[in-house]
Structure 1
Amino acid sequence: MPVPAPNLYPPFNIVRLSHVEYRVIDLAASRAFYVDTLGLQVTDEDHETIYLRAMEERGHHCIALVKAEAPSVGVLGFKLFDEEDLDRAAAFFEGKGLPVEWVAQPFMGRTLRTRDPWGIPLEFYVKMDRLAPIHQKYRLYNGVKPLRIDHFNMFASDVDASVGFYNEIGFRVTEYTEDSETGRLWAAWMHRKGGVHDVAFTNGLGPRLHHTAFWVPTPLNIIDLLDLMSTTGYLPNIERGPGRHGISNAFFLYVRDPDGHRIEIYCSDYQTVDPDLEPIRWDLKDPQRQTLWGAPAPKSWFEEGSAFEGVEPVASDLKAQPIIAP
């Protein structure tokens, strides 16, 4: 199935991805990981929820850690351009027969809660509380020195269908992996903000969240994080990397939080703002598509992900298999 032509005039205007809500069992353990180890900044907390932002972010939060009995993902959040776009988004999802609910969210203005056709919980808003800039408060920089949230990657049971839907709401494909035997998409990377992706879809049992990624200043920050994690009890939480992706050209590291949620540490991808930028095709059997250099991805990276709350994932019928580590 061919990659769809970019939809330059979508029904509403998404600016970028914004935030994720992780359900976690032990707030103290999660705080130690995200704040003391990764270096995210606490913007508000109580005995039920911790809100975090990265160093360049002016919005109140990019992660909400919510105490729960079992790990899951509560919602993926996206910022829209203006209030009219919020109303147009509600009309679009309602027209698709998808749930539409206006919810009150702490530190946010009018907020639309819905789901995509496969059940992924989505949240759209325009206004979030703005905080004072901290990007030049260098004494606050700790851990991997995270600058901003960069993207979500989801397992999808039908990548072609997922790309078609998200293309309809304005996400543009930058790179994709195709199974040459069937002509179907095995994975695709799609953006709004002008990087390689805000969202990506990978073939597998889905929908599930594969990872959330954070942009960091340099590859050396990733090396510093590896030194820190290996000497503070987090060595088993290092899952994959460091290395460089063929797709996106990014320098990467994948780590797991105390509940198993996967976080990618990411830098060095490229600009994609031109509306007529042609997507780059990769063959599924090309070993450099996922790892330009570095060790191959472990089996866990292809199979394990975080459940979305209230969603029962289904298996993909595309059985093509990429190269994995022994």
Structure 2
Amino acid sequence: MSVPAPNLYPPFNVVRLSHTCLNVSDLDTSRAFYTDTLGLQVTDEEGDRVYLRAMEERGHHCVILQKSDRPGTVEVMGFKVWDEDDLDRAETYFRERGQPTEWVERPYQGRTLLTRDNIGIPLEFYHKMDRLPPIHQQYALYRGVKPLRIDHFNCFSPDVDASVAFYNDFGFRVSEYTEDEESGHLWAAWMHRKGGVHDMAFTNGRGPRMHHVAFWVPTPLNIIDLLDLMATTGFVKNIERGPGRHGISNAFFLYILDPDGHRIEIYCSDYQTLDPDHEPIKWDLKDPQRQTLWGAAAPKSWFEHGSNFVGQETTEAVLKATPIVAP
């Protein structure tokens, strides 16, 4: 399947990814990890939830930690739209495609539409979120890896071709993709709205599941500092992959696991994709530099481990091709 041409006039206008809600087993433990180790800032705590933002963000939160009897699962992935009318257009769009839609109340957000995509990923869309004073120049607050903003989601999809077609239809554009040469099908794809390499990516595998949520940091040296911190504060086993530089996206990266197994990517130095006629870059599945520019393959866990979405059944991937896997 070829990558679809970008839809430059989508039925509603998504600005960017915004936030996610992660279910955790121990709120104090998770709070400490996300604030002291990663360096996110607490914006509020109420009952069984902690709200967090990164240093450059003005919106109230990019991560919600929620104490749950289903730790290691994900409640929802959130996106911001351009204006209020886009919410009504989004409701029509998803209803016409047979997906459930519901207007839900969310603290610190305005009117919010809850729905799901074609493979069952729970999505919510909003226009307004409470705005907070800027803190990006309050350098005394910087801790951990010094996260600046949420950057992207990556999800396992059992049918990457179908996921790309669905998101392309409402305006997500492909920046890079991996194709299985034998079948001609997509094994992975990176799709964006905000002008980076991706807001949402899809990886072939049992799904839907969240593969990771990523945070942008200032420099690769911040990633090195995080590794030293994790190695000396009891989290050495939570370091899964990296540091390294991706071939895809050109980003410097590190993958770690939080206390409940949610995978987090620490990420910097990818490139802009602002031009609407930006041409996507194609990679072969067996190219050793697609995963890591320096040629190092990813571990087996990177292709198998993920976080389930609450209430969503998973199915095995249609495409059985496999990339290079580290021994």
What's the secondary structure of 2:147's corresponding residue? coil
Q: Does 1:277 align with 2:286?
A: no
What's the secondary structure of 1:247's corresponding residue? coil
Aligned to 1:81: 82
Letter aligned with residue 307 of structure 1 = N
Q: Is the 8 A contact 2:289 2:295 kept in 1?
A: no
What's the secondary structure of 1:209's corresponding residue? strand
Runs of 4+ in 1 over 6 A off after TM superposition: none
CA shift for structure 1 position 46 = 2.6
CA shift for structure 1 position 60 = 0.1
- Once the two structures are superposed, residues 168-211 of structure 1 have per-residue CA deviations (whole angstroms, 9 ceiling, x without a partner) of 01000000000000000000000000000000000000110000
Q: Does 1:118 align with 2:138?
A: no
- Once the two structures are superposed, residues 92-144 of structure 1 have per-residue CA deviations (whole angstroms, 9 ceiling, x without a partner) of 11111111100010000000000112111000000000000000000000000
CA shift for structure 1 position 317 = 2.2
- Once the two structures are superposed, residues 61-99 of structure 1 have per-residue CA deviations (whole angstroms, 9 ceiling, x without a partner) of 000000001221000000000001111001111111111
What's the secondary structure of 1:288's corresponding residue? helix
Q: Is the 8 A contact 1:244 1:294 kept in 2?
A: no
Aligned to 1:134: 135
Letter aligned with residue 287 of structure 1 = P
Q: Distance in 2 between matches of 1:91 and 1:319?
A: 35
Q: Distance in 2 between matches of 1:80 and 1:46?
A: 26
- Once the two structures are superposed, residues 253-277 of structure 1 have per-residue CA deviations (whole angstroms, 9 ceiling, x without a partner) of 0000000000000000001000001
Q: Distance in 2 between matches of 1:142 and 1:75?
A: 27
Aligned to 2:268: 267
Aligned to 1:69: 69
Q: Is the 8 A contact 2:116 2:123 kept in 1?
A: yes
Letter aligned with residue 250 of structure 1 = A
Letter aligned with residue 193 of structure 1 = K
Q: Distance in 1 between matches of 2:115 and 2:6?
A: 23
What's the secondary structure of 1:248's corresponding residue? coil
Q: Does 1:20 align with 2:20?
A: yes
Q: Distance in 2 between matches of 1:97 and 1:186?
A: 26
Letter aligned with residue 140 of structure 2 = R
Letter aligned with residue 162 of structure 1 = S
Q: Is the 8 A contact 1:241 1:294 kept in 2?
A: no
Q: Is the 8 A contact 1:216 1:267 kept in 2?
A: yes
Q: Distance in 2 between matches of 1:47 and 1:258?
A: 20
Q: Distance in 2 between matches of 1:294 and 1:131?
A: 42
TM-score by length of 2: 0.99
Runs (5+) with no aligned partner, structure 2: none
Q: Distance in 1 between matches of 2:318 and 2:283?
A: 20
Cα distance change of structure 1 residues 210 and 153 upon mapping to structure 2, 3 Å threshold: same
CA shift for structure 1 position 295 = 3.5
Aligned to 2:223: 222
- Once the two structures are superposed, residues 26-65 of structure 1 have per-residue CA deviations (whole angstroms, 9 ceiling, x without a partner) of 1011011100100000000133000000000000000000
Q: Is the 8 A contact 2:22 2:65 kept in 1?
A: yes
Aligned to 2:190: 189
Q: Is the 8 A contact 2:53 2:59 kept in 1?
A: yes
Aligned to 2:313: 312
Q: Does 1:254 align with 2:245?
A: no
Q: Distance in 1 between matches of 2:111 and 2:89?
A: 13
What's the secondary structure of 2:92's corresponding residue? helix
Runs (5+) with no aligned partner, structure 1: none
CA shift for structure 1 position 294 = 6.2
What's the secondary structure of 2:290's corresponding residue? coil
Letter aligned with residue 46 of structure 2 = D
Q: Aligned pairs, how many?
A: 326
Q: Is the 8 A contact 1:208 1:305 kept in 2?
A: yes
Aligned to 1:161: 162
- Once the two structures are superposed, residues 204-253 of structure 1 have per-residue CA deviations (whole angstroms, 9 ceiling, x without a partner) of 00110000000000000000000000000000000000000000000000
What's the secondary structure of 1:131's corresponding residue? coil
Structural RMSD (CA): 0.7
What's the secondary structure of 1:32's corresponding residue? helix
TM-score by length of 1: 0.99
Q: Does 1:33 align with 2:23?
A: no
